[in-house]
A and B are shown apart, each in its own frame.
Chain A
């Protein structure tokens, strides 16, 4: 039976020759992830299980990013619980603030060379789907799943069917992967890919850099998808040759390709030339509109960061747009490099100086305002253009505040203009 890329990865990890949509399988996990919010309840269940040790201390990833540096006493307790557990279990991939490996989970896990093509990953965080950009299967689960997976290194899955997304053509100036995924969500809706995989392919996937593919897969969950996945090409191999030369040189990864005659529940053919700079207006990621049609919307804040758009390329794009310009007098612009490594690289490249000169504030790597935690929470009636992934009611603060999602070029241009706008207007 022909299989999609996702189905092949699942079959292999379940020790089966083939699987079909709807099959229930039990599969071996390469990595299991938790953060400072979801790990503490999982530790409770883990202790109840009476297990002494995690299944593999190199394969359990524990990252404190949501409320770090600890924003209050409660979050300090959560992080302390996770830290103590990580030390006790001698977890390899637990890092303290400020170390070069540290940052937002979905930024550092690809960037530290942990997840590679062909891996099977679950994480107690819905944006775990980000790593599909590397040709791996990655999906979000709950805390009970995390606890049991930490104990046994296996979990169960229902095999998904897939929507095929073919990419052809090339992006117009300033248009990025963020505009692409917002367009897809706008087209199919927030439940358009419920329980399914979004499998990308087509002539021109090379139009997207690795940083952009990570952005695209990051938001697969926003249309209900179980995972998003890109085929492995030269771009992927070049990326992993740098992030994990050891495993790369030993061929410690596996390239899966979808069968030519794999069955898809739907096929979307997208011409990248047709995509415009896009925003998602409050309060759903599917509420999309051309950025150029929203210039009447005044703003109070801009956030450039998060696991969606806090990567090196994003900070570079922001710096290129802000160069020689100033943030509008009525706007606060918060730039949050997604990891300590991104922060340092941006510093070495002179980008942080440009941003600082423009009047942006540069934050320590953290999820921060993305989930309304800290470092830029909104007051009643305030409006923010943000490069994050969710604009639900109250996501960044007061229930009467508004978040408009965009890519970095629109966010940076809007910060200068004091309203929603595009770089062409600068």
Chain B
């Protein structure tokens, strides 16, 4: 499975309060959450983001609370992949469970710039910056994680596994 899109780049320690501020947690509806995604550090994010776009950030992405709303908000915005040095433990787990693709790759996180066109292949873990021609190798996902992503998250995956 491949995704490609334009890059929105952020720094280190982007926390869940920045991704979706607590004042908007009164509803868990993805349509509501995407209206406020990243608004405290990037007001125009919601207007500029297009389906398929990619988020790139530094260390410890998603630190802070355990709210599942954070990866849900990013996914609902249309982001097809988040690339970072590394992710906070619970955010990592929640992202996979809600079906938001993420890749850990410090080289890509450092090399890719805001606005670059990037393509990533989940089968091989190869990330290509089409703007600069550079490519990076992230660890590819094992089969079952790809299946969780393809089913839109853990609930969809569990449903399909229970059917077989």
Which residues of A are interface residues toward B (Cβ below 8 A)?
22-26, 45, 48-51, 141-142, 144-145, 147-148, 151-152, 156, 158, 194-195, 224, 226
Report whether B145 and A24 are in contact in the complex, using a CB–CB cutoff of 8 Å.
Answer: yes
Residues of A contacting B97 in the complex (Cβ-Cβ under 8 angstroms): 142, 144-145
CB distance from A179 to the nearest CB of B (A): 27
B42-76 interface bits toward A, Cβ cutoff 8 Å, 1 = contact, 0 = none? 00000000000000000000000010100000000
CB distance from B136 to the nearest CB of A (A): 16
CA distance A195 to B148 in the complex (A): 21
**A-B residue pairs in contact (CB < 8 Å), sample of 12:** A22-B139, A24-B141, A24-B144, A24-B145, A49-B162, A144-B98, A145-B93, A147-B158, A148-B154, A151-B158, A156-B96, A194-B89
Report whether B92 and A156 are in contact in the complex, using a CB–CB cutoff of 8 Å.
Answer: no
Report whether B155 and A48 are in contact in the complex, using a CB–CB cutoff of 8 Å.
Answer: yes
CB distance from B142 to the nearest CB of A (A): 5
Report whether A142 and B144 are in contact in the complex, using a CB–CB cutoff of 8 Å.
Answer: no
Interface residues on B, range: 20 to 34
Q: Is B16 an interface residue, CB under 8 A from the partner?
A: no
Using A142-B90, A142-B94, A144-B97 as known contacts, list a sample of 5 further A-B pairs with CB atoms less than 8 Å apart, ordered by residue number in A. A49-B159, A142-B97, A144-B98, A152-B158, A156-B96
Residues of A contacting B145 in the complex (Cβ-Cβ under 8 angstroms): 24, 156
A-B interface contact total, Cβ < 8 Å: 54
Contact of A156 among B89, B90, B144, B162 (CB under 8 A): B144
Residues of A contacting B98 in the complex (Cβ-Cβ under 8 angstroms): 144
Main secondary structure of the interface of A (DSSP, over half): mixed
CA distance A394 to B92 in the complex (A): 27
CA distance A141 to B92 in the complex (A): 12
CB distance from B148 to the nearest CB of A (A): 7
Contact of B155 among A45, A141, A156 (CB under 8 A): A45
CB distance from B29 to the nearest CB of A (A): 15
Report whether A226 and B89 are in contact in the complex, using a CB–CB cutoff of 8 Å.
Answer: yes
Report whether A50 and B159 are in contact in the complex, using a CB–CB cutoff of 8 Å.
Answer: yes
Residues of A contacting B148 in the complex (Cβ-Cβ under 8 angstroms): 156
CA distance A147 to B157 in the complex (A): 12
CA distance A393 to B92 in the complex (A): 26
Report whether B154 and A151 are in contact in the complex, using a CB–CB cutoff of 8 Å.
Answer: no
CA distance A267 to B143 in the complex (A): 34
Closest to B98 in A: A144
Q: Which of B106-164 contact A (CB under 8 A)?
A: 139, 141-142, 144-145, 148, 154-155, 157-159, 161-162
Residues of A contacting B159 in the complex (Cβ-Cβ under 8 angstroms): 49-50
Residues of B contacting A50 in the complex (Cβ-Cβ under 8 angstroms): 159, 162
Report whether A49 and B144 are in contact in the complex, using a CB–CB cutoff of 8 Å.
Answer: no
Closest to B158 in A: A148
Report whether A51 and B162 are in contact in the complex, using a CB–CB cutoff of 8 Å.
Answer: yes
Report whether A152 and B92 are in contact in the complex, using a CB–CB cutoff of 8 Å.
Answer: no
Residues of A contacting B90 in the complex (Cβ-Cβ under 8 angstroms): 142
CA distance A195 to B93 in the complex (A): 11
CA distance A156 to B154 in the complex (A): 10
Report whether A148 and B144 are in contact in the complex, using a CB–CB cutoff of 8 Å.
Answer: no
Q: Is B3 an interface residue, CB under 8 A from the partner?
A: no
Report whether A194 and B88 are in contact in the complex, using a CB–CB cutoff of 8 Å.
Answer: yes
Residues of B contacting A25 in the complex (Cβ-Cβ under 8 angstroms): 142
CA distance A141 to B68 in the complex (A): 12
Report whether A142 and B66 are in contact in the complex, using a CB–CB cutoff of 8 Å.
Answer: yes
Which of B66, B93, B145 is packed against the most chain A CB atoms within 10 Å?
B93
CA distance A90 to B113 in the complex (A): 56
Report whether B68 and A144 are in contact in the complex, using a CB–CB cutoff of 8 Å.
Answer: yes
CA distance A227 to B157 in the complex (A): 26
Closest 3 CB pairs of A and B: A148-B158, A195-B89, A26-B144
CA distance A152 to B89 in the complex (A): 23
Residues of A contacting B94 in the complex (Cβ-Cβ under 8 angstroms): 142
CA distance A314 to B40 in the complex (A): 47
Contact of A148 among B89, B139, B155 (CB under 8 A): B155
CA distance A223 to B141 in the complex (A): 28
Report whether A24 and B158 are in contact in the complex, using a CB–CB cutoff of 8 Å.
Answer: no
CB distance from A38 to the nearest CB of B (A): 11
Closest to B148 in A: A156
Contact of A24 among B66, B88, B142 (CB under 8 A): B142
CA distance A45 to B157 in the complex (A): 13
Closest to B159 in A: A49
Which of B89, B142, B158 is packed against the most chain A CB atoms within 10 Å?
B158
Contact of A49 among B88, B92, B141, B155 (CB under 8 A): B155
Residues of B contacting A158 in the complex (Cβ-Cβ under 8 angstroms): 92-93
Closest to A145 in B: B97
Report whether A49 and B66 are in contact in the complex, using a CB–CB cutoff of 8 Å.
Answer: no
CA distance A172 to B94 in the complex (A): 43
CA distance A25 to B159 in the complex (A): 19
CB distance from B143 to the nearest CB of A (A): 9
CA distance A150 to B74 in the complex (A): 28
Closest to B157 in A: A148
Report whether A152 and B142 are in contact in the complex, using a CB–CB cutoff of 8 Å.
Answer: no
CA distance A50 to B160 in the complex (A): 11
CA distance A148 to B159 in the complex (A): 9
Residues of A contacting B66 in the complex (Cβ-Cβ under 8 angstroms): 142
Residues of B contacting A224 in the complex (Cβ-Cβ under 8 angstroms): 89
